[in-house]
């Protein structure tokens, strides 16, 4: 099995989508192994524990430098034998040294159709506020590989979601999660795990 680490900061709805997918046998050779949070209060940790996953908290502010934070995070992931990292609402931008340690093995879900409404400063409700302000009729979600450019890695999967005339940022955020993010992330995880597994064999 390909061991997966899910990095979180908050409630963990995307983690729950992965957990539900694993329960249904849809992650293929992937195994949700450890949940790493940047926030000790994150409800995602409870979701992970309830699913039997290992949990850990690694906060950037607990380290004197970015280098030490990177070493701690990579050290933890290596010690757990992690082969795929999924960013699921992880609000810390990964240092280059972490990305370099797992080239093309870190994926992220972003709540827009990249290249629209992405990059520095575009996260959470801000993405949906921008889409509504701009007046676009279609938005969606993207799962992409993580590179040194924020939201700039190779796109793996995308799914479009219509914007309704009465949408608020909150209603749009919910619908993009339900109709796109929660479907794409498990599919991308399975796809990546199969790729990793085939390279090993």
Active-site residues: which are they?
Answer: 110
Q: Which residues contact 77 (CB under 8 A, 6 or more apart)?
A: 5, 34, 36, 85, 101, 102
Q: Are 56 and 36 in contact (CB under 8 A)?
A: yes
Residue pointed to by tokens 């983690």: 15
| Terminal-residue alpha carbon distance, the chain | 12
> Which ranges constitute the DSSP H helices of 62-111?
66-79, 96-101
d(CA 38, CA 194): 28
Query: Residues 6 or more apart from 20 whose CB is under 8 A from it?
Result: none
Q: Do 188 and 155 form a contact (C-beta atoms < 8 A)?
A: no
């Amino acid at each position: 099995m390909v061991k997966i680490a899910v990095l979180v900061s908050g409630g963990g709805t995307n983690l729950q989508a992965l957990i539900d997918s694993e329960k249904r046998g849809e992650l293929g050779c992937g195994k949700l192994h450890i949940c790493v949070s940047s926030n000790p209060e994150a409800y995602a940790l409870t979701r992970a524990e309830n699913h039997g996953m290992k949990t850990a908290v690694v906060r950037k502010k607990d380290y004197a430098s970015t280098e030490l934070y990177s070493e701690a995070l990579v050290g933890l992931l290596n010690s757990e034998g992690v082969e795929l990292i999924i960013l699921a609402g992880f609000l810390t931008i990964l240092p280059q040294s972490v990305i370099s340690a797992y080239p093309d093995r870190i994926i992220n879900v972003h709540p827009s159709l990249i290249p629209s409404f992405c990059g520095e400063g575009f996260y959470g409700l801000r993405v949906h506020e921008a889409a509504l302000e701009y007046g676009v009729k279609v938005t969606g979600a993207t799962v992409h590989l993580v590179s040194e450019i924020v939201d700039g890695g190779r796109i793996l999967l995308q799914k479009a979601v219509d914007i309704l005339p009465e949408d608020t940022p909150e209603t749009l955020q919910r619908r993009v999660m339900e109709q796109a993010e929660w479907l794409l992330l498990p599919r991308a995880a399975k796809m990546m795990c199969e790729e990793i597994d085939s390279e090993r064999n």
